Amino acid sequence: ENKPDKMRTNSLPRMATGAITMMMMIIIMTVPSEACSCMPQHPQSAYCEADYVIVAQVLRKSQSTGTHDAYKIAIKKEYKMSDAAREELRHGKLYTPSVDSACGRPLEPNKLYAIAANTNQIGLCNFVQPYAELSLAEKRGLAGMYRKGCDCRVVPCFGPKCVFKPGACNWSPFTKKGDCETMFGSCVPAGRAQQNGVPTKCHWRRSPRFSECLANGK
């Protein structure tokens, strides 16, 4: 007479376990995917670290591989190009992840972009900016002015006090001062270099527009 009770008692844990498992699966399925995350990069760093720096016009979005979108481009200006990069770009195509969470960088047909990267695969962590939106100083920098400062490093600083580092310029990307350093600044050597060629000191080159930006806070 007690057998049905035993069966009912033994079945309750299995039912509870099944419900808990189902709830865990729902929670896992509804957790949002991680967003793309990139460290800020000054245009000079992008130039100096890139295998190629170009101004390219997007002709069309040509195809999708399922994970990446492809864009047909025409290179209008070539400021820097290694042999490996020339091989990468020989077909005139750039690829970017199809989803934002994988750092995809959609491009607009017929628009000109300034691009500094190392391969034909680009994303949000690369320097890919509409050319028309760059300041004159940024355009000149990408055209070769930044090359003079490639022995220096531009070091992001996120606190109220930045630690001085030899051969580097501190850069505060999320401040008004940092905006001026981005749009109008270039980090150049000052003084003698060490035996290994690294400058002992670097500083922000004070152009009139840079000084004006700092004075006006914009």
180 marked among binding-site residues:
no
Residue 190: name the closest of 164, 169, 216 by CA.
169
Residue 65: name the closest of 96, 88, 38, 29 by CA.
96
Q: Give binding residues as ranges.
A: 36
Q: Give binding residues for Zn(2+) as ranges.
A: 36
